[in-house]
Amino acid sequence: MSDRSQQPARRDGRAARAEATRARIVAAATELFTTTGYTTTSIGAIAAKAGVSEQTVYYAFGTKKAVLAAALDVAVAGDDQPIPTLERGWAKDALADPDPRGQLRRQVAGAADIYLRAAPLLDVVRSAAPTDPDLAELWSANIEQRLTVQRVFTEALARKTTLRDGITPETAADVALTILAPETYNLLVKERKWPHATWQAWAETALATLLTTAPE
């Protein structure tokens, strides 16, 4: 076998090792951010937890904010694939469901799965945002991303049923953003000790009641 034929395999091997290293760094950072906080977690601590050098962390991500952003992306998505939320299977299924209540059920189930993974990290970003301009920007972007998703969902809902009291899809998106907010989830599940399934059932009923004219 020629050296040229071995080069793609070598590149693939390096890429796989780099991805594995990034995954270890993200996992280590997620644990540290959610147990000791963002401010008190250093790049050195992340590197030590991941079993790599500080330079490796800087080379892979550049900044601590970038590590957190990557960790949040993985937690929200459930993987490291660059697939937008609205192109995920659960979101497509929700949008395609012809039954308004069926859409809401799938929509809430998708949010519930995300919060099982991402609620602690989202709380890290939210709590640090008031005193950290970088995280304030990250939190603002996260809110806008969630609102964009809810706009698509409520526009789809409005095509399937009449919205309650003539509210607009834009207002309906604001309502959904509030009901399905990580702050609401953390308040009820983390602070008030609601079971996750209880929150999910409540969120579905709340959206059906507040957004549709004839909730089932």
Confidence at 166, pLDDT banded by 50, 70, 90 = confident
Please determine whether the domains at 1-78 and 83-216 fall in the same fold group of CATH.
yes
Query: Residue 215: pLDDT above 50?
Result: no
Query: Residue 216: pLDDT above 50?
Result: no
CATH number of 1-78: 1.10.357.10
Predicted TM-score (pTM) above 0.85: yes
pLDDT given at position 213 = 84
pLDDT given at position 185 = 97
Report pLDDT digits (tens) over 27-74. 999 999 999 999 999 999 999 999 999 999 999 999 999 999 999 999
Confidence at 121, pLDDT banded by 50, 70, 90 = very high
Looking up tokens 């989830």 gives 185
In the chain, the amino acid numbered 31 is E
Give helix 3-36 / helix 64-77 axis angle, nearest 10°: 90
In the chain, the amino acid numbered 137 is E
Written as six digits, the tokens of 176 are 């959904």
Looking up tokens 């907010």 gives 181
Domain regions of the chain by residue span:
1-78, 83-216
pLDDT given at position 5 = 54
CA dihedral 214, 158, 156, 177 (to 10 degrees): -80
pLDDT higher for 16 or 208? Answer: 208
CATH topology for 83-216 is Tetracycline Repressor; domain 2 (1.10.357)
